[in-house]
């Protein structure tokens, strides 16, 4: 099974600032977690991070016909991007939304998720472990 993990803007800065909200683990730690999960679960896991909305849309479109499941943390674009929502709807690849922090317990503007409207499951507030949970969800339902 091929899974694509997509991360949006500033997530490459993990561990550098705001450890109180996002924890002290770094983006490199996340990449190591994804690699380890792929090996343990016998999954082909690819990852992509961009700070640019259109690049994220391009990557979702690229996945069409090549990828069996998407794990996506659109970061700030979660709360603004109809373009990412439309791309996820267009490719119709099973998708799980992940948020490192518990967005429900934060500012009102973080309560809406456009991308989440095209995802069948959302994991929030579980830190980096949420990515592994999302991958296992896709494996359990689609492998």
The contact set with ligand CA2 (CB under 6 A) reads 10-11, 13-14, 16-18, 22, 73, 75-76, 78, 99-101, 103, 110
Q: Write the DSSP symbol of residue 16.
A: T
Q: Which secondary structure element, helix H or strand E, spans residue 68, and what is its range?
A: none
Q: One of 77, 99, 114, 131 is an active-site residue; which one?
A: 99
Q: Which is nearer to ligand CA2, 46 or 80 (CB)?
A: 80
Say how many C-beta atoms besides its own lie within 10 A of residue 38's C-beta: 18
The least CB distance from residue 143 to ligand CA2, in Å, is 25
Cα separation, 132 vs 37, whole angstroms: 7
**Whose Cβ is closer to ligand CA2: residue 81's or residue 101's?**
101
C-alpha span between 143 and 44 (Å, rounded): 11
Q: How far is the CB of 19 from ligand CA2 (least distance, A)?
A: 8
Tell the smallest beta-carbon distance from residue 84 to ligand CA2 (Å): 12
Q: What is the largest CA-CA distance in the chain?
A: 39
Catalytic residue among 22, 77, 114, 131: 22
3-state secondary structure at position 92? coil
Q: Decide whether 16 or 117 has the Cβ nearer to ligand CA2.
A: 16
Our answer to whether residue 99 is catalytic in this structure is yes
CB of 65 to ligand CA2, least distance (A): 27
Q: List, in order, residues 6 or more apart from 123 with CB less than 8 Å away.
A: 96, 97, 98, 99, 130, 133, 134, 137
Active site residues: 22, 99
């Amino acid at each position: 099974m091929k899974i694509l993990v997509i991360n949006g803007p500033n997530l490459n800065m993990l561990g550098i600032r705001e450890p109180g909200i996002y924890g002290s683990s770094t983006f490199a730690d996340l990449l190591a977690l994804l690699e380890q999960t792929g090996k343990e679960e016998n999954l082909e896991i690819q990852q992509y991070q961009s700070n640019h909305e259109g690049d994220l849309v391009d990557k979702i479109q690229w996945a069409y016909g090549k990828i069996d499941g998407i794990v996506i943390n659109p970061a700030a674009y979660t709360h603004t991007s109809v373009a990412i929502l439309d791309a996820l709807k267009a490719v119709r690849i099973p998708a799980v939304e992940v948020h490192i922090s518990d967005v429900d317990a934060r500012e009102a503007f973080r309560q809406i998720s456009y991308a989440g409207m095209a995802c069948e499951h959302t994991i929030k507030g579980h830190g980096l472990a949420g990515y592994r949970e999302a991958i296992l969800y896709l494996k359990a339902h689609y492998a």
